[in-house]
Amino acid sequence: MKACRAVCLLIVCLSPMPSAEVFAAPACVAQSRAQRAVLLELYTSEGCDSCPPADRRLSQFKSQPAYAGRVVPLAFHVDYWDRLGWVDRFASPLHTERQQTMAGLAKSRLVYTPQFLRNGRDWRSAGSPLDGADETRPGASIALELGVNPEGQLVVRGEISAAQAAVDVWLALYQNNLESQVRAGENAGKTLRHDYVVRRLIGPLTPSREGRLSLRQKIAPEAGWKPADLGVVVFVQDRATGEILQALQRQAC
């Protein structure tokens, strides 16, 4: 059975993705690596005065090509700071719910900001290198295609194959180069800059009993969003433990 599953993962890597969508420009494609990537989740808020250094840490991955493909960063702005003086326009109750759910799956009570999760587990070494990103085999394979249709919608297509059936697949649309002038709360008077900010979170999507999923999603960007600032992340998560089995990032092109 293990050998069969390994072959199935390889087939996803090699098979061309079927296409019936008309794109306004050539689509971008991506394929997950032979090793497991690190999904680095940051739970943050513009109302938290200890969060800006963590935000800057995440932004550094834009200029660190050595981590490209190995580390997949995402910033989830939570909403529980919004009642304390400043409403974070990027915050969502879905992000707060995910943070709490991930803590529960890890059998932990740790919910705080700024909090980093490394492949689903609390990670307090944000100032250290992300060593070990290439040391483990992935539990899933992801093939991804991202394009823009004539209506201006982002079209995401993917083929996912997991080595187990009890997984959830998530799709996140993120945005870079964001800036806020904070006028109240702990960061009053500061200009905050953000990257990899989750603007849409779609899931959980359930694969077949064989661990396979064909992903087809259309996302309408909001007015003012620049396509060059957008990207998507697809990640596969163990349903029982919250462990991230594989993640793949694709910037819009």
Domain coverage including residue 50: 2-251
Please spell the DSSP secondary structure of 77-113, one letter per residue.
E-STTGGGT---TT--HHHHHHHHHHHHHTT-----S
pLDDT in tens, 157-171: 999 999 999 999 999
Cross-strand pairs, 214: 159
The number of domains in the chain is 1
Does position 22 have pLDDT exceeding 80, yes or no?
Answer: no
Name the DSSP class of 144: E
Query: Tens digits of per-residue pLDDT, 189-228?
Result: 999 999 999 999 999 999 999 999 999 999 999 999 999 9
CA dihedral 31, 217, 234, 196 (to 10 degrees): 110
Is pTM, for the whole model, over 0.75? yes
Among 19-23, 129-133, 175-179, the range with the most confident prediction by mean pLDDT is 175-179
